[in-house]
Chain A
Amino acid sequence: MIRLRLMAAPAALLCAALAWSEAGAQAPPLPGGSAPGPGQKPKEAFVLVIDPGHGGRDEGSKGPGLLEKDVTLKAARLLGERLKRYEGIKVVFTREDDKELTPVQRAAVGNFHAASFFLSIQADASWRPGARGASIFLSAPQRPPRVEGEPSEAMALRWQRGQNVHLAGSLRFAQDLQARFAAIPGAGKPPILTLPLQNLEGARMPAAYVSLGVISTPEEAARLRELNEENPYILALEAEIARFAGLAKPGEAPPAPQAPAPASPGSAASRPGGD
């Protein structure tokens, strides 16, 4: 019964998010948010904004001999290099060096470039010694206070709540990425969690916050230290972004369009396989 309630709550919230998101798609076009209409020139490229977490004085979480800001920058560079080989993908970084940015500045990069997707790369940390595994986070849908009217319109009125109307796209990406991460040997199925996240709330395009592991756990830190361009998590991210952009790997046929995945409780809030 308790488990059912635990699973039902996220499912209900994600369904609500989907409903609001779909409703938002019918609202007037938003900067960087909606698809081009009839007669408009379609976008020439799928613009991906990669946001390596932290930077500068903000070192992020710490592992044994490892800082989160360095891990996220390295992973972002590796992923960016792989994705630059696709003709239809334009990669933009929020930072390419050890620079400090506010969360709002990060989302603003995505909005300025009218990005097709915003990917925040992070690592997790915990006081719990056994914590391990990747996680996928989405921005929690939140109703802005003191704004009346239809929920989708009300939510779109606040610039810093722009993510609210793109949650359906974000969830589809997250569910597919979850399956790709789960297929990595020994990785387990990562959870998809929704939280109020600073750098995603204002992103007016589908967005996800992907934690590649728990840096405070020594074994995980060792794994994160060894990131390279053949790392299975980097490859999974590359494959999912290519699918989301409707592109194939260089030399392969483009993927068939997929139907929107339903928000099932199991996939939306499953437990980390490693825990």
Chain B
Amino acid sequence: MRRRRRGLFWFLLWMALGAAAAIYFFDPLSDLIQRGRRAAFGPSEPGRPSLAPTIHVVLFFPGAETDLLAPYPAEVEQGKEPVQTVRNVLAALLEGPKRPGYAPAAPPGAKLRTAIPGPDGTLYVDFDRAFRAGHPGGAWSEYLTAHAVANTVVFNFPKHFEQVVLLVEGQEAETIAGALSLYEPLRLREDLVAKEAAQPAPGAPKPARPVAPPAQNPPQAPARP
């Protein structure tokens, strides 16, 4: 009788361990749990306990007091693959800044449909139609929105992505709100980043590394100082 009980105990223990391993390693299930957790708690912010492994990243938002982008340290959940992490990073960018000193990079309600790696270090980032419809317009605002996305991707994932192509509803976006031409892929633009702009929140992580020099680009627009 005692032996049967011990056997049952070990059987249940192994079953429990097996179930935990399946939940952890089985992607769709893991994603489902992460999505549920995000829906319940929102994305990770510095100082908030996270159930999933997180990484420190730098998002780029337009500064509230400047016509340039301002670095915004944040913490996001790490995906199994880099592209999953990129999607989390872009979702955090679309949610907008939670601290003062920054302006949104994209219209409220704009959603990321997907992000797909392509050849030559290109990442195709596909937004829903709200990304375009809710944009205030203006050539410079469009430019900052486009490079908020590109800088955020290329700065945080330099080994994986060198340039970004924006899509809207699965099609190449020729423009965001009618002025800017998005004919060329977007690369990291260090010169669009304000060096003395918004201050990180107390206790927030410092950027993982200094901003890298821009990649070898074809001639591009000079920065709005």
Contact = CB atoms under 8 A, between A and B. Distances in A.
Interface of A: 2-3, 5-7, 9-11, 13-14, 16-17, 53-54, 58, 60-62, 68, 103, 122-131, 135, 137, 140-143, 160, 191, 193-199, 201, 209, 211, 214, 216, 268-272, 275
B67 A275 contact: yes
Contacts of B219: 13, 16-17, 140-143
A2 B191 CA distance: 9
Interface of A is mostly: mixed
A61 B184 CA distance: 24
B183 interface: yes
A193 B181 contact: no
19 contacts: A6-B191, A7-B225, A11-B222, A16-B219, A17-B219, A54-B178, A61-B177, A122-B139, A126-B140, A127-B103, A128-B67, A135-B139, A195-B143, A197-B181, A209-B139, A211-B138, A269-B225, A270-B225, A271-B225
A143 B184 CA distance: 10
Query: Most chain-A Cβ atoms within 10 A of its Cβ — which of B104, B141, B178, B196?
Result: B178
Contacts of B223: 6, 9-10, 269
Query: What interface size band does chain B fall in?
Result: 35 or more
Given A127-B62, A130-B65, A272-B67, A194 B222 contact: yes
Given A126-B138, A140-B221, 13 more contacts: A10-B225, A16-B219, A53-B178, A54-B178, A60-B177, A142-B184, A142-B220, A193-B224, A195-B221, A196-B182, A198-B181, A269-B222, A270-B225
A214 B138 contact: yes
A197 B222 contact: no
Interface string B148-183: 000000000000000000000000001101111111
A198 B62 contact: no
